[in-house]
Each structure stands twice: as C-alpha cells, then as structure tokens.
C-alpha cells in the first residue's frame, strides 16, 4: 500500500522515520530520494543527514535546533511542495561494471558452503529454476539486461541495495539459511527482490552468481571517484552489469592493482520519474530477455 499521507515515527531523541508505504514499489523509493534531495536543497540546518531506504526516509536531526513536532510540520510542508513522486527528477550517475557472471570464485564459495555447512545447489541454477528461466545462461541475460537503481546503502558500510529498473529483469530469491560465513569481495548477489554488491569479504545470505573486479570501497582513495568518500556509491546512482569473460576480469583486476583502471561513469544524466513511468507503461513485464 502507498500511504495517502506519510507516517512520521520517532527514533529515540534524535531520529525520525518517515514511511511512505509498506510495499516494495520503486515509486516509494523515488519519493524517499526526492524528499532527501529536497531537504539538502532547502538548507534546513536542523536536519543533520538523511538516509533513504526502500519505502522510507530516516532523518537524523538536531533537537537543540528543532522539536520533533516542528520537524514533522516542516517535512509535511516540504513533501507538499514536491508534488507527486511522479514529478521527481534527480541527478543520477550511471556506472558500467565489467562483470564475470557464473564465475569460478562464487562457485567455489558455494561449494565450500555445501561441503562445510549444508549441501546447496549452485546458486545460478537455483535462481534460474525458481524464476522459471531456462538455465544459468538466461539468468545472465535477464539479470544483466537492466540498469540497477541504488535504492539505499547500509547494513554494512558501502554495501549498496539495488532494484532492477526494467520489470522484465525482476527476479526473486530466498536468502541462505543458515547464512554463509564468507563471500568473495566484489560478489554480486540477490536476496528477496534486491541485488547487492559485497564491498569486502563479509558473511552473507544472498544467492551469489557473479563478481566484479572494480573496487566499490577504497580506504586508500587511490582513484579519483573516491575523492569525497571511501565508498563509491550514493543513493540514486545506477549500475549496469556488463557481462565479461574471466580473462577480461583478470585483466581489469590487474589494472586496478596497478592503479591504471579508469572507472566508466556517466555523469550527465538526470533520472526523471515521469519519463520512467511513461516508459514503464509501454513495457510488457511478462516478457523475458
């Protein structure tokens, strides 16, 4: 359900959670992003920072500068000026990543889990099967066939949660039970309806079937894209996974190690919810690549 009016809930003495609905619907995420963007533009000092998530926005505010009640009033007024989420336009960078699908490293990780924790079908076969695809090859076409929207970052520093923008690439997958104790750095995985990239080798529960050689986390800030942060992404970025071979993966990894890799980022686009919605209406979501 998309709420008629957003719901405002307190989080202790200095947080406010604004909920726009209770379903997984990109429109709700666009609203969250749009409000976050509008707050930054408004110069409202009382809001220290905001963090959008799938259907909500978390605010961290300064109680010395504003009360919860006054902040709610300000937010309701700001939401009214936004108009419908359909009119939101946001600057949005687009990253192209060479991606080794059905790679040997995630396969070895799944085999290790099968041997040590509990037997498991290879994730690529499993996800293809439960989504009615013909096999791992079609999984690659479908998963890589869309741009992914960075809906939020979190759970672990630098970890992006990605939603497919093209409905023909919608897939679902349950999470591991119990979770894995490790995941190769740069793994691309899927849980629920979201995809994610593991910035470092953490435990995890998503189905895994691809890997990128590009750092999305750089504490040494070796590349210019990390000028302002050690984490590559911001909410509202988009990602295109471009299938590549193991050879290209290895070559790119060598470039990264040598510091010569050049990030492929498109920085001249605005994401228009109106144009996206109009386009969505023309797409037959039942078709698969």
Q: Which residues bind other proteins (CB under 8 A)?
A: 9-15, 17, 19, 22-24, 36, 48-58, 60, 63-64, 67-68, 152-159, 161, 192-194, 200, 219, 229-231, 233-235
Helix axes 136-144, 123-130, angle to 10 degrees: 80
| Chain center to CA of 65 | 32
**Pick from 257, 239, 280: nearest CA to 95:** 239
- Phi (first) and psi of residue 4, to 5 degrees: -60, -45
CB of 156 to other proteins, least distance (A): 6
Return the CA Rg of the chain.
20
Q: At 134, list the tokens.
A: 């013909």
CB of 157 to other proteins, least distance (A): 4
β-bridge partners, 10 = 16
d(CA 206, CA 196): 8
CB of 102 to other proteins, least distance (A): 27
Fill in the DSSP letter of residue 231: B
Instruction: Enumerate residues 6+ apart whose C-beta is below 8 A from 71.
Output: 16, 46, 47, 59, 61
Tell me how far apart the 2 most distant CA atoms of the chain are, in Å. Answer: 59
Tokens 């023309």, located at residue: 282
CB of 246 to other proteins, least distance (A): 28
Cα distance between the two ends of the chain: 29
d(CA 167, CA 206): 20
Residue nearer to other proteins on the CB measure, 184 or 192 = 192
Residue nearer to other proteins on the CB measure, 71 or 244 = 71
CB of 250 to other proteins, least distance (A): 25
User: How far, CA to CA in Å, does 178 sit from each of 113, 114, 120?
Assistant: 10, 11, 11
CB of 13 to other proteins, least distance (A): 4
Residue nearer to other proteins on the CB measure, 4 or 13 = 13
Residue nearer to other proteins on the CB measure, 222 or 274 = 222
User: How far, CA to CA in Å, does 105 sit from each of 43, 164, 246?
Assistant: 46, 24, 10
CB of 150 to other proteins, least distance (A): 10
Residue nearer to other proteins on the CB measure, 69 or 260 = 69
Residue nearer to other proteins on the CB measure, 60 or 222 = 60
Residue nearer to other proteins on the CB measure, 76 or 246 = 76
Residue nearer to other proteins on the CB measure, 156 or 289 = 156
CB of 217 to other proteins, least distance (A): 9
């Amino acid at each position: 359900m998309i709420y008629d009016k957003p719901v405002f809930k307190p989080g202790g003495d200095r947080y406010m959670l604004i909920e726009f609905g209770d379903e997984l619907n990109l429109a709700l995420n666009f609203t969250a992003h749009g409000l976050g963007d509008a707050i930054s533009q408004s110069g409202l000092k009382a809001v220290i920072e905001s963090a959008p998530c799938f259907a909500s926005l978390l605010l961290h505010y300064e109680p010395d500068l504003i009360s919860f009640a006054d902040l709610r009033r300000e937010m309701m007024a700001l939401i009214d000026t936004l108009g419908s989420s359909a009119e939101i336009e946001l600057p949005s960078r687009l990253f192209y990543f060479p991606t080794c699908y059905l790679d040997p490293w995630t396969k070895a990780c799944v085999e290790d889990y099968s041997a040590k924790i509990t037997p498991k079908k290879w994730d690529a076969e499993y996800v293809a099967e439960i989504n009615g695809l013909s096999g791992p090859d079609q999984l690659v076409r479908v998963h890589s066939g869309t741009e992914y929207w960075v809906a939020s970052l979190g759970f672990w520093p630098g970890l992006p949660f990605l939603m497919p923008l093209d409905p023909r690439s919608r897939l679902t997958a349950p999470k591991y039970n119990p979770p894995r104790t490790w995941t190769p750095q740069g793994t691309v995985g899927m849980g629920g309806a979201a995809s994610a990239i593991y910035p470092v080798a953490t435990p995890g529960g998503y189905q895994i079937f691809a890997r990128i050689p590009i750092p999305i986390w750089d504490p040494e800030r070796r590349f210019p894209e990390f000028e302002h942060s050690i984490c590559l992404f911001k909410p509202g970025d988009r990602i295109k996974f471009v299938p590549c071979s193991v050879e290209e993966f290895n070559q790119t990894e060598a470039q990264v190690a040598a510091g010569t890799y050049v990030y492929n980022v498109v920085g001249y686009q605005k994401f228009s919810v109106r144009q996206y919605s109009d386009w969505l209406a023309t797409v037959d979501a039942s078709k698969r690549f």
